[in-house]
Amino acid sequence: MNSSNWQQNQLATPGTIREVGARDGLQNEKVIVPTEMKIALIKRFIDAGITAIEVTSFMSPRAVPQLADAGEVLEGLGDPGPGVVLSALVGNAKGVRRALDTKQPALRELAVVVSASEEHNRANLNRSVEESLRGLEEICRLAADRFKVRGTVSTAFGCPYQKEIKPEEVFRVIEAMLAAGIVEITLGDTAGMGEPGQVGKLIMGVREQFPGVSLALHLHDTRGRGLQNARAGIEAGVTIMESSVGGLGGCPFIPGASGNVATGELVRMMHQMGIDTGVDLDRLQECQLFLRSVLDKKTV
């Protein structure tokens, strides 16, 4: 499918970029970034034209100390402007209750993660895949009156513990997510092990197995194939791409897993494909420079 066909067969706004740098990008950083700096970074994302932002996590502060200030970040953002959708990661019902306590009306989505890999799910969430799937219904029930719930299938394209991930293992998680009430599925290449042909094939398989499902793609660049995989996903019909400014991020439970696909590189490629993302690359560069100054490190 070429880029024009992709836009004609959209399930979401053409070229939707979901920026995950404030959550996935920062969660691995050892130095705690001050709350006011996180707020300033997110506001810069909005100024650059990004309207879908995963801003924080309501996981246990002990497990993810970098994001212990989730409530303060959300309330400190004030009114982010029309059309901006903020989201946060939750791991269980307790996380949903924390999200419900926030007063930020632009927080409209919660994201949950279940791995297709049994070993990775235990390392990441300290429970089996089956235990995680059983908890989805309660999460969706608690969130129903206020939040849309998205679901990410992590290690969908490979796992360093389990190696090959079969499509049936991905389908099993998706089926349970949809049954629980989740309305959008993200396929996550958490370890960056995917290849373009594999990415396209799995997406087409998901479309065949679950017609009409809204799909997003979350890619890491561990083996330098992130942009190739992104192009393959777009050509297979994915309309929502997740990325991190400066290529920041990675999975703390996968040794050697590098950061996410860099937002600037992804946006540039999509523009070259004739896909309008609504993102201003010059202002996005300002986000990257700001982030570099905050972290005192080089970003992509």
CA distance 181 to 140: 6
Query: 159 forms bridges with which residues in the sheet?
Result: 163
User: CB count, 10 Å around CB of 167?
Assistant: 15
Catalytic residue among 140, 159, 251, 287: 251
Please state, in angstroms and rounded to a whole number, the distance separating the CA atoms of residues 54 and 162. 28
CA 68, 46, 183, 268 dihedral sign is negative
- CA 82, CA 277: separation in Å to the nearest integer? 17
39 vs 187: CA distance, rounded Å: 28
Residue 29 · residue 38 · CB < 8 Å: no
Q: How many CA atoms lie within 13 A of 86 on its CB side?
A: 30
Query: Is-catalytic flag, 159?
Result: no
Catalytically active residues are 251
